[in-house]
Amino acid sequence: MSADLITGPAVVATDTPTREERRLSPPSFVSAAWLIARKDMIVELRTRTALLAALALSLLSIVIFNFAWDPTAVAAIDLAPGLLWVIFTFSGLLGLHRAFGVEQADRAMDALLGAPIPRTAIYAGKAIGNLALVLLVQLVSIPAALVVYNLEIARVIIPLGGIALLAGIGLVAVGTLFGAMTTSTRASELLLPVLALPFFVPVVTAAAQATARLMGGRPVDETIGWLKLLAAYDIIFVVACAFAYTVVADE
C-alpha cells in the first residue's frame, strides 16, 4: 500500500527516479506500522463511532458507580482506583473489537495481508491505533473521575499517567491479538470479552493497586513492585502477541 492513498499525491520532486523507486519499494517495518495506525486513527476521527461510544460508556460508568455506593459510608478514595480500572477495561473492549472489524468490509483484510509488509507490522499498526484510542479515553475520564469523586488531582495526575500508559500497553497488546482472532469467528462480540478478561486480570490488579497506593499517599517503593509487574507483562505480552499474530494471520 502506498502512502499516496492517505496523504494524497506526492509533491513534485527534483530527483524523480530515486523518488519513484522509493515509492514503489515496500515500506519499512516502522513506516508500514505507522501507515496502518495513521489510517485507523483518521478513520476513527472521521467516524468517531468507537471513540465516542467508549468515552460515553466510561463517563456513564463513573456517574453510575457514584450512585451505586454510599459515599458517606465508603470513602471515594477507597473505591475509585478499582472502579477506574474496571471501567477502562470494559470501555477499552469496545475499541479493541473495532480495529480488525473495520477491515471486514469489502475484504480489506485480504489486501492488508497481501501487502509486501511483515505481519508483525500489521499487528504493531493496529496496536498503536488501539493504544491511541485507549489513552484518549483515559485522558478524558481520569480527570473527570478525579473531579466528580473530589479526589486530589495535582499530586497524582502525572504518575497516574505513567500507570495508565503501562497498563494501556498491556491491555492493548493482548486485546489487539484477541480482536484479530475473534473477528473471524461466529459471535465475535461475545467471545472477545470472554477470552480477554482473564488475561486482563494481572494488568487490572497491578494498575488498581498502584493507583490506590498513589492516591493514598503511600511511599513510592510500595508501588514499585506493581509497576515492575506491569512492565514485565507489557514486554512479554507485546513480544508473545506479535509472534502469535503471525500465526493467526497465516492463511
Q: Using CB under 8 A, list all residues that contact another protein.
A: 174, 177, 181-182, 184-188, 191, 194-195, 197-199, 201-202, 205-206, 209, 225-226, 229, 232-233, 236-237, 240-241, 244, 247-248, 250
User: To the nearest whole angstrom, how small is the minimum distance from the Cβ of residue 124 to another protein?
Assistant: 17
Residue type, 208: A
Q: Which is nearer to another protein, 55 or 227 (CB)?
A: 227
Q: Which is nearer to another protein, 53 or 79 (CB)?
A: 79
The residue to which cell 514503489 is assigned: 24
Helices (H), 115-219: 119-148, 157-183, 188-215
Q: Which is nearer to another protein, 80 or 177 (CB)?
A: 177
User: To the nearest whole angstrom, how small is the minimum distance from the Cβ of residue 222 to another protein?
Assistant: 11
User: To the nearest whole angstrom, how small is the minimum distance from the Cβ of residue 68 to another protein?
Assistant: 21
> Cα(31)–Cα(2) distance, rounded to whole angstroms?
11
> Cα(54)–Cα(138) distance, rounded to whole angstroms?
10
User: To the nearest whole angstrom, how small is the minimum distance from the Cβ of residue 208 to another protein?
Assistant: 10
> Cα(169)–Cα(12) distance, rounded to whole angstroms?
39
User: To the nearest whole angstrom, how small is the minimum distance from the Cβ of residue 221 to another protein?
Assistant: 14
- Residue 193 near residue 57 (C-beta atoms within 8 A): no
Q: Which is nearer to another protein, 88 or 237 (CB)?
A: 237
Q: Which residues of 55-70 are buried (b: 16+ CB within 10 A; e: fewer)?
A: bebbbebbeebbeeee
Q: Which is nearer to another protein, 80 or 173 (CB)?
A: 173
